[in-house]
């Protein structure tokens, strides 16, 4: 029986400043990339028209662009989308102010005429009016805020407020790092990705709560130990569970990322990064933040007295 995680005694609390520095560096790097490149919104938030075509024989972007120049499309972008294990697709992206119903049939006619003997199939059409894009963005932000507030309330109710602070710190840590990865690898932020962010928030806090639970229990049981010692003990005691759960979730998310196709790839990518940072933040960020918070408020309290 593999028992590599049976009884560990690693001093995580002592390593907290190294961990916080490392995280801060990654977050800053991610945010800088995000600011320089700007957020890469998907059509859900940006509005416009995306048409995915799959041709029977390979075509170049240039051919499609040339064919489409007959139509007055305004700002149009044509690019080839490669996905693992699938034939290439051509993505035609038009920035339009309203959802023009006859644009897609007109595109089809022109392409059939200009690129003969190469039938294509319209795989996916998405047209989102600018108003809808705006609304979806507001809705996404609103739902994220509501979820975070509810989680904060729940932790404050079940634990002490200082634990909620640790949990929220871990949430922001994970979301910011994942956002940075999105900016770095130029993944689009879509509705699905927002859903993935909410899920990884839930997952990351789930891990954290298991540790907090143990800290709470040990605080009652081992009254002579310092908070730092209890935290270290609790993290070590739950380490095996933390790692196993993360591994199983990581496995399924990896499968999703590789095999489930382009529809959920953005989602899977967010979860992939989120599971790793979530586990890391559970061990290295959440409890140390609670510890720092507790120590500082304790010092302040003493000063006041």
Partner 1 sequence: MTKSIPFRVLLIVVLIVLGAVYLYPTLRYEELSKEETQKLVELSDLSGIPLNTLGAEIYRDDVDLKGQIEESELDDAAKAAAIEKVEYLRGPFYRSLKYNRAHAIKRGLDLQGGMYLVLEVDLVKLVEDAAKNKDDRFRRILAELRQRVLVSDINVLETLEELCTREGISLSSYWGEPGQTDESIRHDLREAADDAINRSLEILRNRVDQFGVSEPTIAKLGARRIAIELPGVKDPARARELIGRTALLEFKLLTDPDRTREILTAIDNTVKARMGLDTTMAATDNAAADTAVLAETDTTAVDTSIVKAEELFTEPGAEVGELDTGAVAENPFLSLLLGGTNNILVPQKNRSQVNRIIHSLEVRKSLPPDVEFLWSNAPEDFEQGGEPLWILYLVKKEPEQTGATLADARSTIGSGYEPDQAGKPIVEMSMTRAGGRTFARVTGANVGKRLAIVLDDKIHSAPQIRGKIAGGNAVITGMRDMNEARDLAIVLRAGALPAPVQVIEERTIGPSLGNDSIEKGKVSLLLAFLAVTLFMIWYYRLSGGLADFAMILNVFLLMAVLAIFQFTLTMPGIAGIILTIGLAVDANVLIFERIREELRLGKTVRAAIDTGFARAVVTIIDANVTTAIAGVVLLLYGTGPIKGFALTLTVGICVNLFAAIVVTRLVYDILTERLHIKRLSV
List the interface residues with partner 1, window 65-104 (CB under 8 A).
Answer: 86, 98-99, 101-102, 104
Q: Is 174 in the site for partner 1 (CB under 8 A)?
A: no
Contact between 215 and 233 (Cβ < 8 Å): no
Instruction: Indicate the residue among 12 and 203 with the shorter CB distance to partner 1.
Output: 203
Torsion of CA 280, 283, 286, 289, to 10 degrees: -110
Of 16-24, 172-180, 245-253, 294-302, the segment contacting partner 1 by CB under 8 A is: 245-253
- CB burial of residue 170 (10 Å; 0-12, 13-18, 19+): buried
What does each C-alpha distance from 121 to 19, 108, 125, 243 come to in angstroms? 50, 9, 11, 45
Instruction: Indicate the residue among 182 and 267 with the shorter CB distance to partner 1.
Output: 267
Of 25-33, 61-69, 255-263, 289-297, the segment contacting partner 1 by CB under 8 A is: 255-263
Site string for partner 1, 102-141 (x = CB under 8 A): x-xx--x------------xxxxxxxxxxxx-xxx--xx-
Q: Is 248 in the site for partner 1 (CB under 8 A)?
A: yes
Shortest Cβ 205–partner 1 spacing (Å): 4
For residue 292, what are the contacts with CB-CB under 8 A and spacing of at least 6?
A: 16
Shortest Cβ 151–partner 1 spacing (Å): 5
Binders of partner 1 in range 206-225 (CB under 8 A): 206-207, 209-210, 213-214, 217
Shortest Cβ 302–partner 1 spacing (Å): 32
Beta bridge partners, 81, equal: 89
- E strand spans, 36-146: 48-55, 76-81, 89-94, 120-128
Shortest Cβ 99–partner 1 spacing (Å): 5
Torsion of CA 243, 248, 249, 250, to 10 degrees: 80
Count Cβ atoms below 10 Å from residue 17 Cβ, excluding itself: 10
Q: Is 267 in the site for partner 1 (CB under 8 A)?
A: yes
Shortest Cβ 21–partner 1 spacing (Å): 28
Contact between 112 and 96 (Cβ < 8 Å): no
Mind giving me the DSSP string for 9-35?
---TTTTHHHHHHHHHHHHHHHHHHHH
Shortest Cβ 208–partner 1 spacing (Å): 9
| Tokens of residue 104, six digits | 């897609």
Instruction: Indicate the residue among 255 and 298 with the shorter CB distance to partner 1.
Output: 255
Shortest Cβ 259–partner 1 spacing (Å): 5
Q: Is 169 in the site for partner 1 (CB under 8 A)?
A: no
Nearest to 188, CA basis, from 44, 32, 33:
44
Instruction: Indicate the residue among 196 and 294 with the shorter CB distance to partner 1.
Output: 196
Q: Which of 154, 156, 160, 172 binds partner 1 (CB under 8 A)?
A: 154
Instruction: Indicate the residue among 35 and 153 with the shorter CB distance to partner 1.
Output: 153
């Amino acid at each position: 029986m593999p028992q590599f995680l049976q009884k560990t005694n690693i001093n995580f609390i002592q390593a907290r400043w190294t961990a916080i520095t490392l995280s801060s560096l990654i977050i800053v790097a991610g945010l800088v990339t995000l600011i320089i490149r700007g957020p890469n919104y998907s059509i859900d938030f940006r509005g416009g028209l995306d048409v995915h075509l799959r041709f029977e024989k390979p075509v170049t972007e240039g051919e499609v662009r040339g064919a489409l120049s007959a139509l007055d499309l305004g700002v149009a972008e044509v690019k080839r989308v490669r996905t693992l294990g699938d034939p290439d697709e051509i993505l035609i992206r038009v920035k339009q102010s309203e959802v023009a119903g006859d644009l897609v049939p007109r595109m089809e006619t022109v392409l059939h005429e200009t690129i003969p003997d190469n039938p294509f199939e319209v795989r996916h059409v998405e047209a989102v009016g600018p108003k809808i894009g705006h609304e979806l963005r507001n809705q996404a932000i609103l739902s994220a805020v509501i979820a975070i507030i509810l989680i904060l309330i729940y932790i404050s109710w079940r634990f002490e407020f200082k634990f909620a602070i640790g949990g929220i710190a871990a949430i922001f840590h994970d979301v910011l790092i994942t956002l940075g990865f999105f900016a770095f690898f130029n993944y689009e932020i879509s509705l699905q990705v927002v859903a993935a962010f909410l899920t990884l928030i839930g997952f990351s806090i789930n891990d954290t709560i298991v540790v907090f639970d143990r800290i709470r229990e040990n605080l009652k049981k081992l009254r002579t130990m310092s908070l730092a010692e209890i935290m270290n003990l609790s993290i070590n005691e739950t380490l095996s569970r933390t790692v196993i759960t993360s591994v199983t979730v990581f496995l399924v998310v990896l499968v999703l990322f590789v095999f489930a196709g382009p529809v959920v790839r953005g989602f899977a990518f967010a979860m992939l990064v989120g599971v790793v940072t979530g586990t890391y933040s559970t061990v290295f960020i959440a409890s140390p933040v609670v510890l720092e918070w507790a120590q500082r408020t304790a010092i302040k309290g003493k000063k006041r007295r």
